[in-house]
Chains A and B, each alone.
Chain A
Amino acid sequence: MEFPKDLKYTKEHEWVKVEGNIATVGITDYAQDSLGDVVYVELPQEGASVTKHEPFGVVESVKAVSDLYAPLSGSVTEVNDAIVDSPEAINEDPYGDAWMIKVEISSASELSDLLNADEYQKFIEEEK
């Protein structure tokens, strides 16, 4: 299982890539593996605002529904509509093709709450 070093992570199993004041958000390899085959995804509209720790969307595997939690607060500048049509991309390429939303960060101080790859990996080891 992969946890790229250049990404930040949350305990709700989202990853974040920060470039300037824009954060790209997706779910981790661990999350997609635990979910199993993803068959449906629901994402917010462009322009919607998201709040840290609040649900911003939903992923569904064959068996279950799971909320997606915003790692940061801000407004959505871009939505990856391609994964709505091909949700299996979330299983195949969680850190690449299957990014979910881009968020304009409203509060840079929230960045310090995110985990680095090592911390996240340690967290999921403990969770198992």
Chain B
Amino acid sequence: MVPFAGWEMPVQYTGVIDEHLAVRSACGLFDVSHMGEIEVSGDSAIDFVQFVMTNDIERIKDGQCQYSPLCREDGGVVDDTIVYRFNIDRYLFVVNASNTAKVLDWFRQVQKKEAFPDLFIEDLSGIYSQIALQGPKSAEVIKSLLDLDPKEIKTFYFHMGLLNGEIEALVSRTGYTGEDGFEIYLDPADAPAVWQALMEAGKPFGIAPIGLGARDTLRLEMGYPLYGHELSDEITPIEAGLGKYVKFTKDFIGREVLERQATNGTAKSLVGLKMIDAGIPRAGYEIQSNGSSIGTVVSGTSSPSLKAGIGTGFVTTPNKAAGTELDILIRGRAAKAQVVPLPFYRK
């Protein structure tokens, strides 16, 4: 167990590699109750939501959810989030545990500065536990518990229903692993029973409990950003390669800077790195080209699926093309790596 944003969380149950491969081949269960939940509601909720997020909530319908960065005026990222759209007047932002207080504070600042009548911003983190069921067998596992055929919940849709006929839950077809799967939001008092029931239902399929270690290797193989690594207050979504989640067809905070970056390009860009030489890239390692520093690794691991050292890093933009060979300084020694397109892992 390790302390994580005020929570005690398991790094691993049986071993990072076994857990990782269980999710890729069967399914795994994650206790991600640490995630923060912030509800925004009221008559001007849609205007507020559109103003704080870079993606466009009007492109989805009630019952759908959407990924988006949340930016400041300078384009720096406050957090990245999944927004659940209940209806035009009610939204739930799922945010990183370590950023919940920061996002709340940011939302309240925006509310104060701009005129948003009848807007309610509420921290609901305490009333939601979250369990993620991820992997190709997830639909078969959840089927016996759910009051609806899981086929009816399409990717990035959610369902407010009952588990085991009595436990109220929000079930979305979302995740952070690149596999099919569901994220279940429920009353913390019900969470242990649902965890047990899913472990039981998943037994014939080879379900395994999954810790933070494999959560990180799974997301990194997919090239999904993790706040504090690929995203931060000093990194913009354009630099991080998240341009498709930034919609200039609407107004939002940070638009001016991001539109300029999208048009003119950025000095640095996020790239995927795969080792050619032996070694594992790690956050903080220097990236070099012909002996001069051109960037820094922000995430790195040994990929259990690819059995190779992989990582992400920011490099000066002329070096971002796939195929570019670079050096990563590992304990003072230059080890050869190549820029590769994301995701690293494809089925």
Contact = CB atoms under 8 A, between A and B. Distances in A.
Contact of B12 (A36, A39, A40, A58): A36
Interface stretch (B157-165, B178-186, B278-286, B287-295): B278-286
Grouping DSSP codes into helix (H, G, I), strand (E, B) and loop, the A interface class, with mixed when no group exceeds half, is: strand
A60 interface: yes
Interface residues of A, number: 11
A40 B301 contact: no
B16 A40 contact: no
Contact of B15 (A37, A40, A60): A37
A59 B217 CA distance: 18
Nearest to A42: B331
B302 A39 contact: yes
B302 A60 contact: yes
A1 interface: no
A63 B331 contact: no
B216 to A, nearest CB: 8
B334 to A, nearest CB: 15
A62 B302 contact: yes
Nearest to A39: B302
B11 interface: yes
A80 interface: no
B17 A62 contact: yes
5 contacts: A36-B16, A39-B302, A62-B17, A62-B213, A63-B301
Contact of A36 (B213, B278, B282): B213
Contact of A62 (B217, B278, B279, B331): B217
Interface string A54-66: 0000101111010
A65 B301 CA distance: 10
A36 B216 CA distance: 15
Contacts of B280: 39-40, 60, 65
Contacts of B217: 62
Interface centre among B11, B213, B302, B331 (most CB of A within 10 A): B302
A68 B304 CA distance: 23
Contacts of A63: 11, 16, 213, 216, 301
A60 B303 CA distance: 13
Contacts of B213: 36, 62-63
Contacts of A58: 331
